[in-house]
Homo-oligomer: A and B are copies of this chain.
Amino acid sequence: MRVEIWSDIACPWCYIGKARFEAGLAAFAHRDTVEVVHRSFELDPKAPAPTDIAVLDMLAAKYGVSRAQAEAMEARVAETAAAEGLDYRAGRIHGNTFDLHRLLHAGKAHGVQDALLDAFYRANFAEARPLGDPAVLREIAVGAGLPEQEADRVLADSAAYATEVRADEREAAELGATGVPFFVIDRRYGISGGQPAEVFRQALERAHEETAVQILPAGDAEVCGDDGCAVPGK
């Protein structure tokens, strides 16, 4: 089985939802057969590079609330995060995540995608690091296991893995995702939002029980099996 998770590093419910999904997965009997792939989704593709817009100011403007009210909203999210054992501090910076998604695709190609996503989440939500600074991105990426040369290449070339990010985003739209996190099991079942662990466990269970591959009819099977291989013209 394969689970694809569309998410954005800027999305608190993706950060929390990842931990909940992993708890659900850990409780699933056939967890060893599950592969997880992270897919790109930008909540705010037009955001500037993350430099000096505080999320608290962005929230206050977006929801038309005071800074104190924005702080209270964030505090409630922080409590929810804490219940999953996740650090969550106010003070993070709002900004574009395209380069982070490109690096996550490089991470996928090098087998370190999951570790890199965890590192980005931690840097953003627990440490409020300035993710608009290429030197910071480089340090995080290399720390998560991306080869230095590859990190440098991706950061220097804004086209690197850009196609892959766009393809993920197009697929999210085609599959009907309007927000994130969005979880898709074997391209058959979708789950929207950072649901409780038990919801994920049950969905995995259901997908596992209902796995049924339809064998398409085809011509002469040129196949090898227990009794040997088909021989042409025989």
**Residues on A close to B: CB < 8 A?**
1-2, 8, 10-14, 16-17, 32-33, 43, 59, 62-63, 73, 76-77, 79-80, 108-111, 163, 167, 170-171, 174-176, 178-181, 184, 186-196, 199, 203, 206, 211, 213-216, 218-226, 228-234
Q: How many copies of this protein are present in the complex?
A: 2
Task: Please tell me if the beta carbons of B232 and A216 are within 8 angstroms of each other in the complex.
Answer: no
Task: Report whether over half of chain A's contact residues are helix, strand or loop; otherwise say mixed.
Answer: mixed
Q: In the complex the two chains form, what is the Cα distance from A54 to B50 in whole Å?
A: 63
Given A188-B187, A224-B14, A218 and B232 contact (CB-CB distance below 8 Å): no
Task: Please tell me if the beta carbons of B13 and A193 are within 8 angstroms of each other in the complex.
Answer: no
Task: Please tell me if the beta carbons of B199 and A233 are within 8 angstroms of each other in the complex.
Answer: no
Q: Which residues from B are CB-within-8-Å of A181?
A: 223
Task: Please tell me if the beta carbons of B178 and A233 are within 8 angstroms of each other in the complex.
Answer: no
Instruction: Give 10 pairs: A residue, B residue, CB < 8 Å, sorted on A.
Output: A2-B2, A13-B223, A32-B163, A184-B213, A187-B187, A190-B215, A193-B230, A194-B223, A195-B222, A206-B216
